[in-house]
Amino acid sequence: MVVLVTGGNGQLGQALQAIAPQYNNAIEFYFASSQEADITDEASLKAVFDKVKPDFCINAAAYTAVDKAESEPEKAHHINAVGAKNLAEACKQHNTALIHISTDFVFDGKKTTPYTEEDETDPQGVYGLTKLQGELEIQNALAEYFIVRTSWLYSEYGNNFMKTMIRLASERDSLSVVDDQTGTPTNANDLAHALVQMIKSGIKEYGIYHYSNEGSATWYDFAKKIFEINNIAIDLHPIPTSAYPTPAKRPEYSVLDKSKIKKVFGMEIRAWEEVI
């Protein structure tokens, strides 16, 4: 089984690289950087697909700068929507099944119970809109796809909330963190194992799935646990979103319901507090 990973040097790509040796007997991974496999360039994708001949492609390439997207909508659309379409077309031409990573930002955040795959989408900013457009491009172009929506991704790799909190704690005596946005932190290594489990299962129930760790938290809760686990003493204060304005609006509530992925793939998912 050959698996191509686009965005191989990003946070999820690096997490997949870290766990890949555990699956050497079953899967041959090929990690392509955004330079080698530019999803916005059809010729670049064709060259990589012709070379690798993948059975599966995990698309971990994306424009993820949520606030910057508000001032760079064309760039975000080019990567998240046009790029997804190009990748879907390449997969179709090479009989490759696609696993595409999407986001909780496709929802409006107005629910108070976990979002299911059937809930209506209504993104509130450019990033969420372009990711939703990417989902739709894939569904229009391809039959063999898994779209996996996730949330609050963090790890020892790339740029993420956990690493930012640890860095800020080394620079300051006190921090204020938003306490009125609720979601679920997702360990990138757990997501990586889940994606490999989907591939190894051989199950072909294609469609949209939700994956995050179990439970829910505010950003304040998440920060508090990060400092607790790392034995960092800091004066931490909860604040409302209104006290920390950002260019892009965040969902107030974006907990994802994982019932479908657990049922279809027999997946066991750890609580977010257990895996930091």
Among residues 100, 12, 98, the alpha carbon closest in space to that of 49 is found at 98
pLDDT at 75: 98
Q: Which of 138, 137, 156, 134 is nearest to 146 (CA)?
A: 138
Question: Domain limits at 29?
Answer: 2-159+186-214+255-274
Question: Hey, what are 250's tokens?
Answer: 């965040």
The residues with which 150 forms a beta bridge, in sequence order, are 103
158 close to 187: Cβ distance less than 8 angstroms: no
* List 30, 63, 115, 127, catalytic entry: 127
In a domain, 210, yes or no: yes
| Farthest-apart Cα atoms in the chain, separation | 55
Q: Is residue 234 part of a domain?
A: no
- Note the pLDDT of residue 49: 98
- 180 lies in some domain: no
Is residue 9 within 8 Å of residue 17, measured between CB atoms? no
Establish whether 220 is a catalytic residue: no
Any domain includes 266: yes
| Tens digit of pLDDT at every position of the chain (276 positions) | 999 999 999 999 999 999 999 999 999 999 999 999 999 999 999 999 999 999 999 999 999 999 999 999 999 999 999 999 999 999 999 999 999 999 999 999 999 999 999 999 999 999 999 999 999 999 999 999 999 999 999 999 999 999 999 999 999 999 999 999 999 999 999 999 999 999 999 999 999 999 999 999 999 999 999 999 999 999 999 999 999 999 999 999 999 999 999 999 999 999 999 998
What is the CB neighbour count within 10 angstroms for residue 222? 23
Which token pair is 223?
Answer: 């920060």
In a domain, 229, yes or no: no
C-alpha to C-alpha distances, 79 to 111, 133, 175, 272, nearest whole angstrom? 29, 11, 34, 30
Domain membership of residue 242 (yes or no) is no
What are the angstrom distances between the C-alpha of 86 and each of 49, 77, 94, 129, 159? 12, 12, 12, 18, 26
Q: How many domains are there within the chain?
A: 1
Asked if residue 235 belongs to a domain, the reply is no
Q: Say which CATH number the domain at 120 has.
A: 3.40.50.720
Residue 250 maps to a domain: no
Say what the pLDDT of residue 39 is: 98
- Complete DSSP assignment for 162-222: HHHHHHHHHH-SEEEEE-S-EE--EEHHHHHHHHHHHHHH-----EEEE---BS-EEHHHH
Confidence at residue 16, expressed as pLDDT on a 0 to 100 scale: 98
